Structure 1
Amino acid sequence: MKKHAPATLRNREVIAQALAEELPQDGLVLEVASGSGEHAVFFADRFPMMTWQPSDPNGEAVASIRAYRTEFSGTNLRSPVVLDASMPDHWNAEAVDAIVCINMTHISPWAASVGLFKGAAQILSGKSLPLILYGPYFEHGVEPAPSNIAFDEGLRARNSEWGIRRLADMDALAHANGLTRTARREMPANNVFLVYRPG
């Protein structure tokens, strides 16, 4: 039932350190595309003042999150919900204090990224609250790592709608939805940590 994403163990600590600088002191975090659920459990434990709401559109992923949640001793990790990033009008999400999305944009159709920003704008509108993304991106003026080029080619071979996104395109999506990038941090393994906020 439980799934395991090897990258989670490698990146969770450095992501948590970056989250600590961007998350509010307390409140509700919506994690979009939680995958196996390993990040959700780790972050809920790391940030006990935050309530963590995991989600995923995939039934097997939701089952995995539930399985990990049964082993979590805290009270701030909610049961996962089914949520498709590409359909923000059907999120039925309550007011949240942050949205976190890790390693989704390159392993999903472009419509998922479009929906993510639209949904974030609807939920975070009028507040200086963060939409936080983590993953690989191609950036203007930055020589892409050979490993990212190979990764992108492999993704597109698996699904023509997948692929590493251009940071400029993400910024354009943000702008179209009233969001502005307020932070960018380089992360291990040629990933970046991005923060967008309304305004």
Structure 2
Amino acid sequence: MEDINPDNRLNFPATKRNRDFIGEVLSNYISPNSLFLEIASGSGEHGVFFQKKFPSIVWQTSDPELVHRKSINSWIKHEGLYSKMPEPLDLDVEMRPWPITKQLRSLIKGVVCINMIHISPWTCTKALFEESKYYLDQNNFLMLYGPFLQEKVQTSEGNLIFDQSLKLQNPLWGLRSIKNVNDIAFENGFKLDSVIDMPANNLSVIYRLK
């Protein structure tokens, strides 16, 4: 068991700003008595919030960074959810196959990825779809949340500045085009279910297997 010192809890300000809105979208897709896999869970603040919001489900967090997994465990302990939430998986989308047991695989009803694809190389987005398809069926979903570029929709000045700042940090980062993401999704047997406008020029994008 990784360190669960409460002092390991990280605080990502964006989480408190967007968790209620993301939760409202999820409420239309989440089924009771199911398990949902979150990719790149970061601090773990989203995970414990959704676990408390949807008490009939199990929210399985994951992250490749040890400092994040320590934070997730500390948040789980802080919120008194250790009897409900499993420990985060050490999961890097590009390290395949993912560390998903047969038992866990049989329980997954959805994959959720919040604010990852613009702060990771494009190869991570490809890996996300390529691997997720093995854990889902037509009744399940893959949800992406974050800022995107859209055809025929003017990108906000704030998102353009954000995109530039990301590319200065790492030339492999940056806002992704919905069209390009859709192309990867379609190549892997997914169809676009819905694109939902969110506050602060973000989107929730839902895919299902064909």
TM-score by length of 1: 0.96
Alpha-carbon offset, residue 91 of structure 1:
3.3
Alpha-carbon offset, residue 92 of structure 1:
2.6
2:94 to 81, 86, 96: 86
AA aligned opposite 2:46: H
What is the alpha-carbon distance in structure 1 between the residues aligned to residue 205 and residue 64 of structure 2?
Answer: 23
Alpha-carbon offset, residue 164 of structure 1:
0.5
What is the alpha-carbon distance in structure 2 between the residues aligned to residue 10 and residue 114 of structure 1?
Answer: 28
Alpha-carbon offset, residue 89 of structure 1:
1.7
1:61 corresponding residue in structure 2:
68
| Deviation sequence 1:100-144 (CA, Å, 0-9, x none) | 1000000111111111101111111x4320001100000001000
AA aligned opposite 2:88: P
1:172 to 161, 183, 205: 183
What is the alpha-carbon distance in structure 2 between the residues aligned to residue 121 and residue 142 of structure 1?
Answer: 29
Equivalences, count: 198
Does the aligned pair in 1 maintain the 2:89–2:99 contact within 8 Å? no
Alpha-carbon offset, residue 78 of structure 1:
1.4
Residue 24 in 1 paired to residue 31 in 2? yes
AA aligned opposite 1:81: L
What is the alpha-carbon distance in structure 2 between the residues aligned to residue 130 and residue 5 of structure 1?
Answer: 26
Residue 99 in 1 paired to residue 111 in 2? yes
What is the alpha-carbon distance in structure 1 between the residues aligned to residue 184 and residue 95 of structure 2?
Answer: 15
Secondary structure, counterpart of 1:141 in structure 2:
coil
What is the alpha-carbon distance in structure 2 between the residues aligned to residue 27 and residue 88 of structure 1?
Answer: 24
What is the alpha-carbon distance in structure 1 between the residues aligned to residue 24 and residue 135 of structure 2?
Answer: 25
Secondary structure, counterpart of 2:128 in structure 1:
helix
Q: Give ranges in structure 2 of 5+ residues lacking alignment.
A: 1-7
Identity of aligned residues (%): 36
1:76 to 53, 74, 84: 84
What is the alpha-carbon distance in structure 2 between the residues aligned to residue 34 and residue 90 of structure 1?
Answer: 15
Q: Give ranges in structure 1 of 5+ residues lacking alignment.
A: none
AA aligned opposite 1:78: P
